Structure formats: structure tokens, C-alpha cells
Amino acid sequence: MAKVTKKVAAKKITKKVTKKVAKKIVKKATSNKVVKKVTKKATVKKKPMTKKATPKMSKLKVGDMAPDFTLQDQNGKSVSLHDFKGKNVVVYFYPKAMTPGCTVQACEIRNSESKLKNANIVVLGISADPVKSLKKFEEKEKLNFTLLSDPEKKVIQSYGSWGLKKFMGREFEGILRQSFLVDTQGKVAHVMEKVDTKTHHDDVLNFFKNH
């Protein structure tokens, strides 16, 4: 019995010693120094996220050389502005194919084909729509002029036709409905910042007629 009692007593002592050692380890681990280090790491300020710089819009003026470009038309063919040197060119930007205002504008240009041709005027409509959408637009409305796809908006931005818009009480960035009339030398002859979709074709004809 004495041996058994000694063993039990020894186990109890071992348990007490183990608990004391464990407490010391925990106490050391949670000392002020460790807590300070952990707190310091936790309270490190994150660097504020920098906003992406918005591309600067160039403001073209009358007399400036119109920025040259090469884009795909509704048939997937590459078309460049310099292809039309010696002609009067209307570079017009519109928000989206097959939307109401853009359809009215395009159809009025379609209906003025002979008048535009007689005035040595070529029309290039530019939007961010993919080539497939432009082809559908052409076929649906039986359009007879060139539509160009600028999905990356590089040409749109180079002409300053991307900016803040307002519609039904909300503001957002998008393609501005603008037209740039380019003369036979490749220079900007007139900038139409406010375009009336119903009279755009006549406004273009009148300008070149009197220019």
C-alpha cells in the first residue's frame, strides 16, 4: 500500500510541476513584448490604393491635323483616315449601334448618300461596338457608309470624344456624340460638339457647301 501511495503522490507532484511549467510558458508568450509586436503588426497602416489615372483627352481645334487611325470596318477590313486624303471626311462618334438616337442619325446619313457623294464627302462612323454588331447594324438599317469599331476606345479618346455624360438624372462616362469635319488636306475644318441626330447630315452638307 505504501508503494502505491508513493506512486500516486509522485503523479500528483508531476502534474503540478507540469501545470506550473505550462503556465510559465503561456505567461512568457503573452508578455508585453510579444503583445506589442503582435499589436504593431496588426495596426500597420495599409497604403491607400491609388486610382488609375484617367487618360487625358485631347481637345482638337480647327486647323489641327486630324489624328490618323486604322480600324476595322463592319466587314472586318482595315480602314485608315489617310486613305481618304483629297476628300472631305466626316469622322463622327456615336454611343452605340442600334440605339434610337444613333439609328436616326445613321439613317439620315444613308438617305443623303447622293448629296454627300456630290459634295466629295466620305462618312466614317466610329463607336466601341464590335465588328459583328456593326455588321448587324448595317444589314438591319441597310446602311451605305463605313462603320468603324474602336473597342479599346483609343481613337475615341484621341479625338476627345470620351467624357462625362448625363442621362435620366445619373452621371457616367461614355462616348460623346461629336463630329469632326476634316478637309481635303487632313486638317480639322470644323468641330461639332453638339450634334442633332435629325439634322446632322444637313449640317455637314451646309458646312462643306459654304466652307
The stretches of the chain forming alpha helices (DSSP H) are 2-29, 32-42, 100-111, 113-118, 131-141, 154-158, 200-210
Catalytic residue among 102, 109, 116, 143: 102
List phi, psi (to 5°) of 30.
Answer: -100, 25
Residues 163, 52, 92, CA angle at the centre, nearest 5°? Answer: 25
Say which residue the cell 468603324 belongs to.
148
Distance CA 136, CA 74 (A): 8
Residue 82 main-chain phi, psi, to 5 deg? -70, -10
**Contact of 126 with 155, CB cutoff 8 Å:** yes
**Catalytic (active site) residue 107:** no
Q: Give the closest residue to 124 by CA, choosing from 191, 202, 71, 57.
A: 71
What is the rounded distance in angstroms from the CA atom of residue 166 to the CA atom of residue 15?
Answer: 77
List active site positions: 102
